[in-house]
Structure 1
Amino acid sequence: MIDTKDREIIEALQGGLPLVPAPYAQVAETLGLEEDALLFRLAELKSRGVIRRIAAAPNHYKLGMTSNGMTVWDVEDDHITELGTRIGQLPFVTHCYERPRALPDWPYNLFAMVHGKDEVEVEEKRAEIAAILGDACRAKDILYSKRILKKTGLRLKAKG
């Protein structure tokens, strides 16, 4: 559960930090808090799992990364945690997660999103992932993006 002030903090930050030299100080001021109090509450929200992170979310299309592929892998269950962690730490993987298979049609349980300036670059990155997975990977595929469907996380509706 969150209290009223936590909700105000989440609503104030869910659209992004202000682009100013001291963004947390500015947000804290608008909420009637000291900056240290805001940072403490954010740490508490994170430790309780209410929020996962506060991070930059660059628009990869504007950065010239116009080819995007969700690589999907059928990885042996005994190795998925260790291998998924390694794949998720690669500098070119923007998100990596495990999902249940939907057999018999969908054997894939490891997903890793990669971006590149073209499909050749994305395929090179996919080959790097394949080399790490090695014999623990039984099948693979890639799903290329055709268009942007969503560019935001969960948003709380303002009370009112």
Structure 2
Amino acid sequence: MSTSTLKSELLSDQDRELIMATQAGLPLVSDPWTELGSQLGMPASEVLERFQKMQASGVIRRVAAVPNHYKLGYRFNGMTVWDVADDAIAELGERVGELPFVSHCYRRPRHLPYWSYNLFAMVHGTSGDEVEDKAGRIADVLGDACSGHTILYSSAILKKTGLRLRKQKDNG
């Protein structure tokens, strides 16, 4: 199956247009579905139905407000990195990801001998002590399956966006 065939099965042209039209957020109006429909030439009911189908299929996770954590006072951002036993990382990574204060959680490959960490969990706090406390709670979950960790603190935002789709080029 070609890449273009796979893409077309995952995302229709209309769905792609909806995603591109909302990448920076929904229109800030009382009825964003009607506004989007007007912009894209489809009824509001179809816009909403398409979003619901994309959510049900997992193409989009949710439609939600995304607060700016810096403006809320969460200025300490720590990517906690953990050296977790390979036979335990799947289960323990799920448990760490379920912690309410973990915003991102990933399994990543080790790069031995330079980098032994294979579990990454992002936490935010209003102080370094708060981030350290949250890291301690992650350590409690990981227990003896973890043989080391550190915290990589953000020092500056260079770019912060989600995934952005671009208009596809016609190959015809």
Query: Which residue in 1 is equivalent to 2:5?
Result: none
Per-residue deviation, 1:43 = 3.6
**Is 1:133 equivalent to 2:130 in the alignment?**
no
Deviation track 1:77-100 (CA, whole Å, cap 9, x = no partner) reads 222122111111211111111111
Overall identity of the aligned pairs, in %: 57
Query: Which residue matches 1:17?
Result: 26
- Which blocks of at least 5 consecutive residues in structure 1 are unaligned? none
Q: Say which SS state the counterpart of residue 88 (structure 2) adopts.
A: helix
Q: Which residue of 2 aligns with 1:142?
A: 151
| One of 56, 71, 80 as aligned partner of 2:80 | 71
Q: Distance in 1 between matches of 2:91 and 2:30?
A: 39
CA distance, structure 1, for counterparts of residue 110 and residue 48 of structure 2: 39
> Is 17-26 or 94-103 further displaced after alignment?
17-26
Match of 1:84 in 2: 93
Give the Cα–Cα distance (whole angstroms) in 2 for the partners of residues 120 and 42 of structure 1: 40
Kindly report the root-mean-square deviation, in angstroms, between the aligned alpha carbons of the 2 structures: 2.0
Aligned to 1:118: 127
Question: Corresponding residue for 1:107?
Answer: 116
How many residues matched? 160
In the alignment, the residues of structure 2 paired with residue 29 and residue 89 of structure 1 have an alpha-carbon distance, to the nearest angstrom, of: 39
CA-to-partner distance for each residue in 1:62-82, whole Å, 9 max, x for gaps? 110011100001111222122
Shift of 1:35: 2.7
Displacement of 1:53 in angstroms is 4.1
SS in 1 for 2:112: coil
| Consecutive unaligned residues in structure 2, runs of 5 or more | 1-7
Q: Which runs of 4+ in 1 moved over 6 A?
A: none
TM-score, normalization by structure 2: 0.82
How many Å apart are 1:52 and its aligned residue?
Answer: 4.5
Q: Distance in 1 between matches of 2:30 and 2:94?
A: 34
Secondary structure of 2:130 counterpart: helix
SS in 2 for 1:58: coil
Cα shift at 1:50: 4.2
Structure with the greater alpha carbon radius of gyration: 2
Q: 1:34 matched to which residue of 2?
A: 43
